[in-house]
């Protein structure tokens, strides 16, 4: 009886961890998918948007400003940094090949990382967050961290707001349409520059929001902090189906579920190989659904 109760409790807590982690991945994956769907670009500098947003929090904290200021600043920094990236790097490359864009985004990623190293420090910097995030809430038999609750709630709200924007507003509908068929929307009179700028701004804001929770979990920032989240987001996008916005969100949650489950179930001796198991499962998913979970199998037209 006790064992069952403990196992059930454990499962619930793992599920909440998976949802919190998944929602962070979902934000990042959605940003990647959004830019990919309008520009055909997998932006490997997306992780650096997380990094610069994290550093914005660090600098503001250093200047003595409270968390309530750091949060909007992180989101705004992500959005602005994304707009600058698009204007300075990607816009001049409009029409360039997929490979050119890909390599350029890698170069940009390295450039930003080294910029942070040179200007601030190559070392980790502490960003203490409100104590509140270390506390837990007791709900019946469950102990749930505030960090997980706030992460999940914020990400879900962000996804709902974004969905409403995309489905209900005229600007959003244009974006959604452009994500499905960019060329067709241009032929209907929608300006590609506006759509592309909006896609970058949204992807940057989502990266900034994700950065807040990643920093909260780590308590530090460092120049390379965006790489692992980017990799996870990229895997999530591939799982969901490259170019599908809802697929990216689903992919984020699926990946997190895999990781958390492995974390909880793998014996200690094989834990170091957790990533290998996780990626192995991704390979199996893609073996059965090569175009991703949410991409329709292309019908013969």
Partner 1 sequence: MTTATLALRDVVKRFQGVVALDGVSLEVAEGEIVGLIGPNGSGKTTLLNIASGVNRPTEGRLVVGGVDATGRRPNQVAKLGVGRTFQQIRLFDDMTVHDNVLVGAVARGEDRDHVAPLLARLNLAAVADRVAVTLSYGDQRRVEIARALAGSPRFLLLDEPAAGMNESESDALLATIQAIREEQGCAVLIVDHDLRLMMRLCDRIHVLAEGRTICEGTPDKVRADPLVIEAYLGSAGAPAEPEPAGGQAS
**Size of site (CB under 8 A) for partner 1:** 20
Residue 175 beta carbon to partner 1: minimum distance, rounded to whole angstroms? 10
**Spatial separation of the C-alpha atoms in residues 222 and 124, rounded to whole Å:** 5
Q: Which is nearer to partner 1, 71 or 173 (CB)?
A: 173
Write out the DSSP string of 59-93.
Answer: HHHHTT--HHHHHHHHHHHHHHHHHHHIIIIIGGG
Among 118, 160, 184, 284, which residue interacts with partner 1 (rule: CB under 8 A)? 184
291 three-state secondary structure: coil
Residue 60 beta carbon to partner 1: minimum distance, rounded to whole angstroms? 38
Question: Is position 181 an interface residue for partner 1 (rule: CB under 8 A)?
Answer: yes
Question: Is position 183 an interface residue for partner 1 (rule: CB under 8 A)?
Answer: yes
Question: Is position 189 an interface residue for partner 1 (rule: CB under 8 A)?
Answer: yes
**Spatial separation of the C-alpha atoms in residues 262 and 148, rounded to whole Å:** 19
Q: Which helix (H) or strand (E) holds 220?
A: strand 220-221
Q: For 170-174, which contacts have Cβ atoms below 8 Å and span 24 or more sequence positions? A: 171/198
Question: Is position 174 an interface residue for partner 1 (rule: CB under 8 A)?
Answer: yes
Question: Is position 197 an interface residue for partner 1 (rule: CB under 8 A)?
Answer: no
Residue 280 beta carbon to partner 1: minimum distance, rounded to whole angstroms? 31
The token pair at 176 is: 């959604």
Question: Is position 297 an interface residue for partner 1 (rule: CB under 8 A)?
Answer: no
Residue 196 beta carbon to partner 1: minimum distance, rounded to whole angstroms? 12
Q: Which is nearer to partner 1, 22 or 174 (CB)?
A: 174
Question: Is position 192 an interface residue for partner 1 (rule: CB under 8 A)?
Answer: yes
Question: Is position 95 an interface residue for partner 1 (rule: CB under 8 A)?
Answer: no
Q: Which helix (H) or strand (E) holds 294?
A: none
Among 139, 188, 228, 270, which residue interacts with partner 1 (rule: CB under 8 A)? 188
Of 195, 164, 194, nearest to 180 by C-alpha is: 195
Give 221's strand partners: 125
Q: Using CB under 8 A as the criterion, what x/- string covers residues 119-158 for binding partner 1? A: ----------------------------------------
136 three-state secondary structure: strand
Among 186, 219, 273, 276, which residue interacts with partner 1 (rule: CB under 8 A)? 186
Question: Is position 102 an interface residue for partner 1 (rule: CB under 8 A)?
Answer: no
Among 3, 63, 99, 187, which residue interacts with partner 1 (rule: CB under 8 A)? 187
The total number of residues shown for the chain amounts to 301
- Cβ atoms of 222 and 201 within 8 Å: the answer is no
Task: Choose the binding region for partner 1 from 54-62, 124-132, 173-181, 216-224 (rule: CB under 8 A).
Answer: 173-181
- What 3 state SS string does 138-174 have? EECCEEEEHHHHHHHHHHHHHHHHHHHHHHHCHHHHH
**Residues interacting with partner 1, by CB under 8 A?**
167, 170, 173-174, 176-177, 180-181, 183-192, 296, 301
């Amino acid at each position: 009886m006790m064992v069952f109760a403990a196992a059930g409790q454990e499962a619930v807590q793992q599920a909440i961890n998976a949802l919190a982690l998944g929602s962070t991945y979902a934000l990042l994956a959605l940003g990647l998918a959004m830019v990919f769907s309008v520009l055909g670009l997998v932006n490997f500098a997306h992780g650096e948007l997380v990094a610069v947003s994290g550093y914005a929090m660090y600098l503001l904290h250093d200047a003595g400003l409270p968390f309530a200021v750091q949060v909007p600043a992180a989101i705004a920094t992500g959005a602005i940094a994304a707009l600058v990236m698009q204007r300075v790097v990607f816009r001049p490359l409009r029409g360039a090949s997929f490979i050119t864009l890909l390599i350029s985004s890698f170069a940009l990623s390295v450039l930003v990382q080294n910029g942070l190293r040179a200007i601030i420090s190559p070392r980790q910097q502490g960003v203490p967050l409100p104590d509140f995030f270390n506390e837990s809430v007791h709900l019946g038999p469950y102990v749930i961290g505030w960090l997980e609750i706030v992460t999940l709630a914020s990400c879900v709200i962000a996804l709902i707001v974004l969905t409403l924007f995309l489905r209900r507003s005229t600007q959003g509908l244009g974006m959604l349409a452009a994500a499905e068929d960019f060329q067709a929307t241009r032929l209907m009179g929608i300006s590609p520059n506006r759509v592309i700028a909006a896609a970058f701004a949204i992807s940057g804001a989502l990266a900034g929001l994700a950065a807040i929770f990643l920093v909260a979990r780590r308590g530090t920032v460092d120049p390379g902090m965006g790489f692992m989240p980017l990799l996870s987001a990229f895997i999530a996008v591939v799982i969901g189906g490259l170019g599908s916005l809802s697929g990216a969100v689903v992919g984020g949650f699926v990946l997190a579920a895999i990781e958390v489950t492995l974390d909880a179930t793998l014996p200690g001796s094989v834990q170091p190989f957790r990533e290998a198991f996780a990626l192995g499962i991704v390979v199996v998913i893609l073996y059965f659904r090569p175009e991703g979970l949410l991409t329709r199998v292309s019908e013969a037209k």
